[in-house]
Structure 1
């Protein structure tokens, strides 16, 4: 791709035949954009960019997203081969993803539907009337992350959301956030979801896998826009099997002393592992443990406090509160995405 053309469009605020999205990772949606542009005069798709009536707003997009894979899936949804090019482009210090779409010589369908470009988006043309019709939005998608032991709560959340939306929401479950080498797989898995909901219990905050991955996620401002948390308390014990004794409540609200207990927990984990490593004089034998020590240090020095502050600042909702208001807050939050 000739990056100069894309830069010229951005610098001169050429808004025609351009579709901008701050964060769009659904292959099906991107496929409609490609089809719409190819059925008109061609054009550009910018990811990590917004535009108003007069100018572009550069926000940037993480290069960790597997956008090439997403684009390949999008292309597979088209009825005929098309000509396009794509690349990451650094513009004014921000990375953006650019897709250049050429005008097609034949009608291009996406999943057997015909689209055309229209004002920073696409319109679907009805098959029978040949009149313009607004694109029908997909069902919102929700990704649930939780510890397997908290499944009773997750079942209630899922059942109520499906009931209240008349099954108008697609929900994916993941009982455990993948660890270390699986992080990219996890990131790819949630890219196609509008909302990521984490069910936070005491055990969740004491899980190295959960805290490491969530710590990485909340540092990415794109994911902050789609994250929501349900915080559990001891009031939820009635939903668990009889004889369940593990602590449930996540000490997020109220006493700073209670929140600092988690910092203390991770500091003790760090000291314990550090002391064990010091007693083993073999680098190869302790290489994995050394990496783990570094991660635990990051958790107790930064991530756990940042995460709990993030939750306390109204980013987390108690399960009891959500039940009392019929999950309206959660539904409203999802509907905005």
Structure 2
């Protein structure tokens, strides 16, 4: 068995223009001071990383890792959540997603998509140069506006959307394969890959690509009322990354999983800081230990109530306390009387 690595923290929700969150060295020192041993870096945040330079310069990557090491943490993975979203955008979302892109391609959907694809290719090379094995992203969405089948969807609409989604992602998956890095899609509402079935639809269309994997975040599953524990068993071979994020779903006579257009504090399903929600992390971490998951446990902080720095401080201890240091021997080894094949046969009355 293997012991999961961590605790680590995704820096996307904490990076900002004020110290210590505006520079890689100072935010790394802040994370280390809270007890984190790893950081996951959002590749779009130029305060923390120059993605193009990381793709082109091994010296730059060595310096970046050195900066992290000097401040007490390791790099767990890079993320292209925002760029991945822009690989596939339905026109209804053009304006609201435009801010995810570089200024020079905003307002131009075709240029924006080409930019996003280039960003993913850079991320593959950067991940290789940084010695990483896994990468986090979103799939984007072409079919999401048609989630609920009313009015009736034209025959073949969803199939056409997923065919196109796979066509766009297949060359990117090949680039990650060439780099030796797994591309892990966060299963997330708003993305075409938002549950197990949609992941399977995509996986089939990319030919069960060896680099097509899952970022497991139970919070997005409980908010859809999915069996987030059973999900681990079904997709065991494809889960390569883990966001430790809590959530709650409070059954209501007034709203369900669509939450009636309410704000986050008023929704039946809400993201919470670690330990404040309903996710059974003891069983999740036990599953990880029993099934040799050797990746990182990465806090992604999202909470509609608690201050982020409080959530980060509490989250480090929460993850550390849940990581199971696996045993190297069975608990009843003291009673092992020893045996051999001849003895086994005698015990069974076979001789």
TM-score range, shorter chain: under 0.3
Q: Decide which structure has greater strand share.
A: 1
Highest RCO, 1 vs 2 (Cα 8 Å, sep ≥ 6): 2
When normalised by structure 2's length, the TM-score is 0.26
